[in-house]
Amino acid sequence: MKAILAALLLALAMPAFGQADEVAHPDPNVERRLKDLGEELRCLVCQNETLAVSQAPLALDLRNEIREMIRQGKTDDQIRAYLVARYGDFVLYKPPFKPITVLLWVGPFALLALGIGVMAVVLARRRAAPVPPAPAADAQRARIASLLAGEPPARGGDG
């Protein structure tokens, strides 16, 4: 039982050792290039974080893979091309403008223009539509006028 518990605890501690391996012997030049590249790449797990800041295990693996490619002498363009070939344009924070990604670039502006157009139509209709007086408004005005004139209030009604 103790052996099973010890094995389980060791297995649970493995991610901590993986994170420690990432920064065990950093080369400043490699780390600088990795940081620059990591800021341009998207974490495939988190999707709203760059590869440079993500703590996901896959991000750790990708950073280690990029480190290895840098050590092999590959250029930044070669590394980007490898990651795009493997994961698609989605891995890039700024995907290239091409027919398949045109919606990514034009979509937000089109939605903004559509929203402004809808708002303009709604506001124009509001301005053009006459506002009918409230049903009790005329009776209320007459009552107020009679009170101001010093006449006794009418009995009955709402009074």
Per-residue pLDDT reduced to its tens digit, 32-88:
999 999 999 998 888 789 998 888 888 999 999 999 999 899 999 999 999 999 988
Confidence of residue 95 (pLDDT cuts 50, 70, 90): confident
Provide the residue ranges of all domains of the chain, joining segments of one domain with +.
9-96, 97-131
Residue 114: which pLDDT band, with cuts at 50, 70 and 90? very high
C-alpha distances in Å from residue 101, one per residue of 25, 76, 95, 105, 133: 39, 22, 7, 7, 53
The two three-digit tokens of residue 37, written as one number: 């590249």
In Å, how far from its chain's centre is CA 12?
Answer: 32
pTM above 0.75, yes or no: no
The architecture CATH gives domain 9-96: Orthogonal Bundle (1.10)
pLDDT confidence of residue 159 = 47
Residue 145 vs residues 105, 135, 136, 140: alpha-carbon distances, Å: 63, 17, 14, 9
